[in-house]
Amino acid sequence: MKVLKKILHIKLTIIVLLLLPFVVFTLLTSKTNIIKNIKSFTILTGSMQPAIPQGSIVYVQKNQIYEKGDIISFENKAKQTVTHRVAEKVNKNKEVFYKTKGDANNTVDQELVAEKSVLGKSIFSVPYVGKFTLFLKTLQGFLLLIVLPVTIFIAFELWNIKKEIEKNIEKKLTEKIKAI
């Protein structure tokens, strides 16, 4: 049983050490663009399927130029982050705008996207991981995946402390009995 516990502990440690850099990278890029101007977003709709499934995390990097066919993330007039493909590049009043379209949509988006509204071009995405992060933001997800494991961990640690205290008391009592 002890060997099984040790193997499980080692496997969990390896998983955490492998996932930790990815999680930290994703958290940092979701809030800032300090790492090589990269930002990350969770895709909430199916408008870019099958290229980027709903619930994926997409990583974008700011570029100087965006071309037809590029997948870009931008902030629309409603201050929402949208990830769609460039359908056409438009020059209007000496400014560059983009007509965009979701791959799963039948028509191009109504509003033109100003170049200054583009947050970046998609460099890669991780399918379905965003569903996990969205679930984690709910009360049920937080309780199930954060509070419950922490509570179990604390309970195990308290149990181990109790066992150590009992061992020490038993050891002292044995020493006293031997001394008599």
Say yes or no: 103 and 39 in one domain. Answer: yes
- Residue 124 and residue 159 in one domain: no
Same domain, 60 and 119: yes
Q: In angstroms, rounded to a whole number, what is the distance separating the alpha carbons of residues 120 and 101?
A: 16
What distance in Å separates the CA atoms of residue 4 and residue 111, rounded to the nearest whole number? 59
pLDDT at 90 over 90: yes
Q: Are residues 125 and 142 in the same domain?
A: no
Checking if the pLDDT of 25 tops 80, the result is: yes
Strand ordering across the sheet containing 57-61: 38-42, 57-61, 118-126, 71-75, 81-92, 95-101, 113-114
| Together in a domain, 37 and 86 | yes
pLDDT score at 148: 85
Query: pLDDT at residue 180 above 80?
Result: no
Which of 7-11, 51-55, 136-140 has the largest mean confidence? 51-55
> Taking the model in full, what pTM does it have?
0.72
Among residues 70, 69, 73, the alpha carbon closest in space to that of 81 is found at 73
First to last CA, the chain: 38
